Every structure is written in structure tokens, then in C-alpha cells.
A and B are shown apart, each in its own frame.
Chain A
Amino acid sequence: EAQVTQNPRYLITVTGKKLTVTCSQNMNHEYMSWYRQDPGLGLRQIYYSMNVEVTDKGDVPEGYKVSRKEKRNFPLILESPSPNQTSLYFCASRRYEGASTDTQYFGPGTRLTVL
């Protein structure tokens, strides 16, 4: 089954304690991205990756890091989480190859609370 998985699904942590949210897709997609979703706002892109070892900032990259060492995985790293990073996070993937109309598949979301 084609899917994007994220772990953990729920996480409560404290300010300053480094954490990693994993994302994995089984569709051999080149393009992967991370979004955050906050009440009353549309999803905002944090980082995206067009292929292995190719990453770039989205609209709200401050306080986040990513890596793309393998095609299937795209972890999101918060080196020193702060309360304003409390949010619902989604990982997504799709083919890249200029196929802008391809379906983008989203993971189930990770609800992060930073105390």
C-alpha cells in the first residue's frame, strides 16, 4: 500500500530538548516536504527536498533542520524546541520530474506540544 508514515504521532516535550520526527514513504518519490498546521492558518511549508542530498527552505524554516540521506526518509529535527513550535506537523511526498500535477500524499500527522 502506497503510504507516508510519520513517527511519533503524538509528542509532548519540554523547551530545549532536541527531538526528531521521522518521515518515510514507500512510493520512490523524489519530492518530500514538511508542513506545519496551526488553527486558522493554512498549512505552511517548513522545508522541502527535491531529491537525495537536495533540501531547501520553505516559508517557515526557523528553528528546524532536515536531512535527506536516503530517498525514502526525510526526518525533521528540532534542535532546541520552543513553545511556539507547538503545532500539527505533516510530511508529504510526490513525484518530482516536472510533474506538478501529480498527487501529493500526506502522512497522518504528528501533534507536537512543547512545554
Chain B
Amino acid sequence: KNQVEQSPQSLIILEGKNCTLQCNYTVSPFSNLRWYKQDTGRGPVSLTIMTFSENTKSNGRYTATLDADTKQSSLHITASQLSDSASYICVVSAETGGFKTIFGAGTRLFVKA
């Protein structure tokens, strides 16, 4: 069964600290993995997209890694800011003739001053 599991469910950190969010998936055949940021009450916004051959992708203070062998990805946030408070969603797509997309439940990040 195609699944995307994210951990932790929620996380509280102090402003300026780093953090790492985890994503494990069992989606097959793998096409790509995306990380989205979703502010409360808004639609998700794409942060990074990685295909099978890519193992790291950065977008400013956000760095995503992908290990296609172990089917794990992480999103590392450096020098967190209050505006990083949001849900972070891992999304994995399977190449199945069309594009099957499976969303994780997200990690809710709270950055405190």
C-alpha cells in the first residue's frame, strides 16, 4: 500500500535554532518527492522537488535530502524564524501511467521567540 509517514507530528523550537523533519514512504514506482509549506488557512506552497537521481535540494534556509534506497527524506530548516511556523507536508508521486500523488499528514512546526 502506498503510504507517506511524517514525524514528528508536531515540534516546538526556539527562534534561531535548527530542526529536521522526517518523511518515510512506501510509494512505488517512485517518481518524485516534494516538500510543501502550508501556513494556517492557506494552500500549500512548494519548497523543493526531488527526483530519483537527486539526493539533496536547497531553497534558502530549507534543505531537503532524499535516500531512495531506504525511502526516506528529511527537511532541514536552518536558523529558524517566527515565519517558519507552519505545517510541512511531504508528498510522493508514483509514475503509474498517470501521476499518483500521496500526501503525508504533515509536521506542525511552532517557532517561539
Contact = CB atoms under 8 A, between A and B. Distances in A.
Interface of A: 4, 35, 40-45, 48, 50, 56, 90, 92, 100-101, 103-104, 106-109
Interface string B69-113: 000000000000000000001000101001101111110000000
B98 A106 contact: no
Contacts of B11: none
A106 B103 contact: no
Band of interface residues on B: 20 to 34
Interface of B: 4, 31-32, 34, 41-46, 49, 51, 89, 93, 95, 98-99, 101-106
B32 A101 contact: yes
Contact of B105 (A4, A40, A90, A108): A40
Contact of A44 (B41, B43, B103): B103
Contact of B101 (A45, A56, A109): A45
A106 B32 contact: no
Contacts of A40: 105
A50 B49 contact: no
B89 A107 contact: no
Contact of A100 (B32, B89, B106): B32
A90 B91 CA distance: 15
A109 B43 contact: yes
Contacts of A50: 98
9 contacts: A42-B106, A44-B103, A92-B43, A100-B32, A101-B49, A106-B43, A106-B45, A107-B43, A109-B43
- Give 7 nearest A-B pairs by CB, closest first: A106-B43, A42-B103, A43-B103, A103-B46, A42-B105, A106-B44, A101-B49
Contacts of B32: 100-101
A41 B105 contact: yes
Nearest to A45: B101
B99 A108 contact: no
